[in-house]
Amino acid sequence: RPIAQRHGLTMLQLACLWNLSQPQVHSVIPTLIQEVGANAKPIEKKIDELAAVGTDARLAQFKLSADECAQIEDIGNNKGCMELKGANPAHAGEAQPDRWGLNPDLQTVAQRWGIAPERDLVCTHH
């Protein structure tokens, strides 16, 4: 929130601009949900905020600093905070719909991407 406030951005705009600051991302289309409650923004307001990212000259040229990107990344880093679904080195036994062991093909993919399953795919925060 302090980063958004410092730049006069809404949280939706900040989220979009942060995503767009990633080198591999060229466009964003967030899911907009009409929330309920006294302080809920109408979905039309959210659409206007999102549209401004691409049409407002200030926002279209806006770039987060490397330090701001690092701060946001640190806030959202949940690595190791939960047991993962899908391929999991801790899974033993028969494959389940949401969890299965690592087969040789998955081990090869992990190696190609520099993933050490016993280090990177396990819950480390209890």
Residue type, 63: K
pTM: 0.60
Report the alpha-carbon distance of residue 86 to residue 100 in Å, rounded.
6
| 3-state SS class at 101 | coil
Report the alpha-carbon distance of residue 18 to residue 3 in Å, rounded.
11
Closest CA to 63 of 17, 3, 22: 17
Give the pLDDT confidence score for residue 76 in this predicted structure.
81
The encoded tokens of residue 42 equal 């109408």
Give the pLDDT confidence score for residue 80 in this predicted structure.
67
pLDDT by residue, tens only, the chain of 126 residues: 999 999 999 888 898 888 888 888 888 888 888 889 998 989 898 888 888 887 877 777 888 999 999 999 888 877 766 667 788 888 888 988 888 888 899 889 989 999 888 888 777 765
The count of C-alpha atoms lying within 13 angstroms of the C-alpha of 122, restricted to the half-sphere facing its C-beta, is: 10
Report the alpha-carbon distance of residue 99 to residue 85 in Å, rounded.
5
